[in-house]
Structure 1
């Protein structure tokens, strides 16, 4: 990226393009319209439609060499996108650079609301949590994530890869004991449970998924697999009926009237489930869209009794990067902590307690 990129980008006759048919691209298009800046086209080799939000959608090979490109890719592979644009010798900047330097009110990353103020108010706690990690890789991951989200600077992610092929299966977890029991909290398509069972063929998996259409798919998919049991409920601190939004992999518990596309589902605590079914988990994976601490409160007895290995998403809320390990450290001091991040963007930061 040339240092004078934005100067050229704001010139009257600049050939402006946006890379990626993303939600951020929609916002950027609106910002450009409001500031009388023409965007010629959206670049996306995988988008199937001819137009995106009224703009032509073209392939990377069609972009002229004098184009000025803003990447609107913020998750999964934003570093790879930069490398791709570099390979094609295009003048470009990534979304985070544009956010910092354009002078426009670009939309913030949803999960990063309040991260900087939280860090500024809790630096001692951040340093304490960092000292708990068992390996240098966890420490460097923690530092990179904190800097990335505080500074909106993608350079802190340059060494990360997008790799979810073996997510939740790390060397410090293996080998699993025979007949280990896996709790998949936020199972969605069951892929995480399948991955666990490939590494523990004698094990059993409980897939907790409250979306009726999704549980129907899972029940049909695994109807002949005795190692897998689908549990059609949400999980939380207590048993109750909750409102659940329908947003694919981002579906979550919401307040009443917060979202038009909601359904009522039954929520259960893990402690209650284990007591009723006389089952003890060996390993619990938790990706529940921001209610991780609430779920942990509902499994205190299970943690104290069974001390299962835990893999908990800690990227949905600003405070979770430190509040989740703090909670676990207080509840069960013998846990050892590791941190892994499976994308080049803002999602899939996982705390492991072993």
Structure 2
């Protein structure tokens, strides 16, 4: 496993450097990184955006500038990428900037608190080593090592050198034409479309859960040709039991619904009560052969709500591992406790930062 002890901590390096530090991006990611910098006594000198997005914006009291203007003002500087992207053109632009400047993509959690630092990795070394030892092939171990190096150092190249297309993940799953598929976090039906493409449109049944009303309606429209008997849906979030939870509605893929933390300032109009269902309750006695979990930080609860199905049917699983700080070790351990016979494969599909990191359980 990657040498945690010998790693250079990103946050320590940023606190000690004499170079100007520039945050690349605006919005939620930039605010999270700015908040961590404040906690770590890291001084930020400015903000930048891609040329197409610079239109007189300001962020956190700074004028948002083009890279060329930043270079004229500061010369050599450190760039912190503060947004996520899977678009190849944008990834190549980030790589090109990294050829000219010291560049990092700080790891901050998509959902929840905590920060994956060198100290955090040392604290959880036993769990990390346990998961590493459970991985079924060398490629998975390479992905794990690159992920661990990235999260401690912030360097993007350990991620990039181990990324693979989604097709490789589907090869691991080896889906057939008679699958009963449960899509937890079905979004607008895009992963159902992928599933149908992989299986040539052949399947037994599809069960889909999506909590966001707009996304749910899109999914139903896109897949209107599927028979209601074969395509069973519910406008609800995946959880450990059947209940109602308060959420903040944000829309979009990466944070469509996030738990509302009482006492945290938020526009009251965005707080919604959402129906939550366990998969065990939703599918009842149906035999499930494949489950996808991408539920925006609720993967642990969704696994708890699938205990009966997993123990009874031993379905293939695809589990997202990037929403919470602890997901990379806590979720694989939970999966193997539910079914010790699973073989675990780890793949990350093209993305900066370490999003679209998936665990395949066969």
Q: When the two structures are superposed, what TM-score results if normalisation uses the length of structure 1?
A: 0.77
Deviation at 1:329, TM superposition (A): 1.6
- Secondary structure of the corresponding residue to residue 181 of structure 2: strand
- The alpha-carbon distance between structure 1 residues 59 and 325, as it changes in their structure 2 partners (threshold 3 A), is same
Deviations 1:41-80 (A, max 9, x none): 7341342744343766666677767844543424336864
- The alpha-carbon distance between structure 1 residues 224 and 256, as it changes in their structure 2 partners (threshold 3 A), is farther
- The alpha-carbon distance between structure 1 residues 158 and 271, as it changes in their structure 2 partners (threshold 3 A), is closer
CA distance in 2, matches of 1:148, 1:38: 24
Does residue 1:319 correspond to 2:332, yes or no?
A: no
The structure with the largest alpha-carbon Rg is 1
Deviation at 1:124, TM superposition (A): 2.7
Deviations 1:149-192 (A, max 9, x none): 133343432414586xx378431112x22221221111112111
Deviation at 1:125, TM superposition (A): 2.7
In structure 1, the residue matched to 2:206 is: 205
Deviation at 1:147, TM superposition (A): 2.2
- The alpha-carbon distance between structure 1 residues 125 and 225, as it changes in their structure 2 partners (threshold 3 A), is same
Aligned pair partner of 2:130 in 128, 131, 136: 128
- Secondary structure of the corresponding residue to residue 223 of structure 1: coil
CA distance in 2, matches of 1:168, 1:206: 24
CA distance in 1, matches of 2:54, 2:287: 46
In structure 2, the residue matched to 1:105 is: none
- The alpha-carbon distance between structure 1 residues 61 and 162, as it changes in their structure 2 partners (threshold 3 A), is farther
Q: RMSD of aligned C-alpha atoms?
A: 3.5
In structure 2, the residue matched to 1:103 is: none
Q: When the two structures are superposed, what TM-score results if normalisation uses the length of structure 2?
A: 0.76
Aligned pair partner of 1:237 in 230, 240, 257: 240
**What runs of 5+ residues in structure 1 fail to find an aligned partner?**
1-5, 11-15, 100-107
In structure 1, the residue matched to 2:306 is: 299
Does residue 1:76 correspond to 2:85, yes or no?
A: yes
Higher relative contact order (CA 8 A, sep 6+): 2
**What runs of 5+ residues in structure 2 fail to find an aligned partner?**
1-16
Q: How many residues align?
A: 325
Does structure 1 conserve the Cα–Cα contact (< 8 Å) formed by 2:186 and 2:208?
Answer: yes
Deviation at 1:139, TM superposition (A): 0.5
In structure 2, the residue matched to 1:262 is: 271
Does residue 1:189 correspond to 2:188, yes or no?
A: yes
